[in-house]
Amino acid sequence: MPGPILHIVQHLAPGGLEVMALELARAQSKAGRPALVLSLEGEAEAAIRHWPRLEGERQRLIFLGKRPGLDHALPLRLARLFRRLRPSCVHTHHVGPLLYAGPAARLAGVAARLHTEHDAWHLANPRRARLVRAALALAGPVLVADAPDVAEAVRRAVGSLPRVVLNGVDTTRFTPGDQAAARAALGLPQGRPIIGIAARLERVKGVDIALDALALLPGDALLAVAGGGGEEAALRAQVAALGLGERVRFLGLVQDTARFYPALDVLCVPSRNEGLPLAPLEAQACGVPVVAARVGGVATALCPATGRLVAPEDPAALAAGLAATLAQPGGNPRPFVLRQASLAAAADAYLTLAFGPGGRA
């Protein structure tokens, strides 16, 4: 029997890349190709306490406990692990896993090696771009990007054009729901327009921009923020300074976002940088329209009939887009996700890249 597919990530904390690795492993295992997720950093119990979703994934998780900083011994340690596990494929996600696990997989004789770039803005740093070029040369993986815009940015930075595999979401889990029931479960008010954000509370996600936009919106629209992170205190201070205390709810980390999206009238994605984010795909699969900043691969994630793209870092443009969508939502975006961005299609595409048509080693 072929060995497992190993998805390698830097750490397992709530984030789009990490969710995508977990979802791919689950979908590929369901399709008959057992898959595991290996986190270079962290310990199992601490990670599960911080992100309870991992409890249900425990049987397919491996933690190496890498400490911060450069670890020269880690590639050899990984190579020994790969020789023991005999994986059928090593799939690295983002730069750190590529640097350590990519060369280790080649050294261990793993024939199928994939690497996915989930965004490309970090490659604007020339030193980072040189490092990635060197790591790609050592590891020799099939290079993948999660959106056409990301692929082109990677090509400009490293000189190789990646294959494109769009991120996908589980459309059997993310489905339209009863808005009143969803709001009641989250303690959100009925009868008011609700704008949602599902993101880490870090500067790159632009939640501060959304708060400035909310201050420009007339009426009683409420912003519900699902997520946690290092910027929360600053964002709460911004809410107070803008006098928005009655119009913003910080919900913390929502474990099951499939129950969050149906509560919304519109999802806001105000990010400063992105690859192909999962949140707009998940929301649209639930029938919720999206207003988003035009960055990275976001345009690829938006239903052209219902989504609105606005200039990045522009609160006035974001407010105008949100107001227009609240006034006229414009239909159901779920069929777009069913056609363009299903998890099953993404999992199958990666199996084909690794093993050829039919996904067999």
pTM summary value: 0.90
State the average pLDDT over residues 305-321: 97
Q: Both ends of the chain: CA-CA distance in Å?
A: 10
Q: How confident is the model at residue 358 (pLDDT cuts 50, 70, 90)?
A: confident
Q: Could you report the per-residue pLDDT of 227-284, keeping only the tens digit for each?
A: 999 999 999 999 999 999 999 999 999 989 999 999 999 999 999 999 899 999 999 9
Positive or negative torsion for Cα 82, 87, 90, 96: negative
Range from 1-5, 229-233, 235-239, 355-359 carrying the lowest mean pLDDT: 355-359
Answer yes or no: are the C-beta atoms of 194 and 265 closer than 8 Å: yes
The pLDDT, as a whole number, for residue 1 is 66
Say if residue 165's pLDDT is above 90. Answer: yes
Q: Is 65 exposed, middle or buried (0-12, 13-18, 19+ CB in 10 A)?
A: exposed
| Cα distance between residue 47 and residue 329, in whole Å | 38
CA 99 to CA 72: how far, in whole Å?
11
Residues 58-97: pLDDT tens digits? Answer: 999 999 999 888 899 999 999 999 999 999 999 999 999 9
| pLDDT > 90: percent of the chain | 90
pLDDT for 361 beyond 60? no
pLDDT tens track for 194-220: 999 999 999 999 999 999 999 999 889
189 close to 224: Cβ distance less than 8 angstroms: no
> What rounded mean pLDDT belongs to the chain?
94
- Tell the CATH superfamily of the 5-168+342-355 domain: Glycogen Phosphorylase B; (3.40.50.2000)
| CATH H superfamily, domain 179-340 | Glycogen Phosphorylase B; (3.40.50.2000)
Mean pLDDT of 106-122: 94
Q: Any idea where the domains of the chain sit in the sequence?
A: 5-168+342-355, 179-340
Return the pLDDT at 186: 97
> Could you tell me which residues are beta bridge partners of residue 5?
35, 89
- The pLDDT of 1-23, averaged and rounded, is 93
Question: Where does the pLDDT of residue 144 fall: very low under 50, low under 70, confident under 90, or very high at 90 and above?
Answer: very high
CA distance 253 to 46: 16
Mean pLDDT of 92-119: 95
Specify the pLDDT at position 68: 86
From residue 356, alpha-carbon distances to 162, 298, 353 in Å are 17, 29, 6
Residue 311: pLDDT over 70: yes
pLDDT exceeds 60 at position 360: no
pLDDT, residue 359, reads: 63
Residue type, 150: V
DSSP secondary structure string, 205-231? G-HHHHHHHHHH--SS-EEEEE---TT
- At residue 9, the 3 state secondary structure works out as strand
Is the model's pLDDT at 119 over the cut of 60?
yes
Same fold, 5-168+342-355 and 179-340: yes
Torsion angle of alpha carbons 324, 146, 174, 56, nearest 10°?
-140
Model pLDDT, residue 357 = 86
Judge whether residue 330 has pLDDT over 80. no
